[in-house]
Amino acid sequence: MSNFIKNANWRYATKKFDTNKKVSNEDLETLKEAIQLSVSSYGLQPYKVIFVDNPELRAKIQPAAWGQSQIVDASQLVVFANITNFGEEQIDAYINNVVTTRGLSAEDLKGYADFMKSKITTLSEENRNTWTSKQTYIALTNLLNAAAELKIDVTPMEGFDPALVNEILGLEKMGLNASLLATIGYRHDEDATQNYAKVRKSKEELFINL
């Protein structure tokens, strides 16, 4: 646990990446596995995670992300995209995955499937989209923590125009919406932000014991 706290103190939202340093394929696979293992409501993982490697696409996304340099300078750009209008089709796909993975029958899981459908499909489309969007933040946390363990920098980014990113990547056609961006790479020696003291609320202010 002491390493976790050290890593949490080490990481920060990198403002300037070293364009000459690239994350290895091995480390990228580790980060992808960390995202894959993230917890989610009902285990449904109602999102897709897009690694944008094409430099032309990244250059198009930069203006939609307030011109932030990390979009093009970081080793990798990741888009966390929530599934829109999540419903019975996706729940059935999850149940089929459980059947295959655990060697169960669909009949064994019918009660659980019906329960999920009763809780999810009865929500308005807007509320379902809000819910799936929130799930991407949990996956992002796994990425942040795994990257810090590897001493790889990750900058989570909410400062972008989702509609423009959706248009650039054609996400709406895939039933997706850009919920979060994250840039992955290595901090530049000239990034003064890395030397700033971490500012957080005191434990006395943050925590309430009842």
- Angstrom distance (rounded) from CA 78 to CA 60: 14
Q: Tell me which amino acid residue 3 is.
A: N
Q: Where in the sequence is the domain holding 86, given as residue range(s)?
A: 2-206
CATH code (residue 113): 3.40.109.10
- Angstrom distance (rounded) from CA 182 to CA 137: 11
Q: Given this model, what pLDDT does residue 2 score?
A: 80
What are the structure tokens assigned to 156, written together? 């989570």
pLDDT tens digit sequence for 71-98: 999 999 999 999 999 999 999 999 999 9
What are the structure tokens assigned to 183, written together? 């840039």
Q: Which residues contact 49 (CB under 8 A, 6 or more apart)?
A: 32, 35, 78, 79, 80, 81, 139
pLDDT tens digit sequence for 33-76: 999 999 999 999 999 999 999 999 999 999 999 999 999 999 99
Edge-to-edge, what's the strand order for the sheet holding 176-185? Answer: 47-52, 76-83, 176-185, 153-157
Closest by Cα among 31, 21, 39 to 182? 31
Q: How many residues does the chain have?
A: 210
Q: Given this model, what pLDDT does residue 207 score?
A: 98
Q: Structural domain tally of the chain?
A: 1
Q: What are phi and psi of 93, to 5 degrees?
A: -65, -40
Q: Given this model, what pLDDT does residue 1 score?
A: 66
- Reported pTM: 0.96
Closest by Cα among 148, 142, 134 to 39? 142
Is the CB of residue 27 less than 8 Å from the CB of residue 101? no
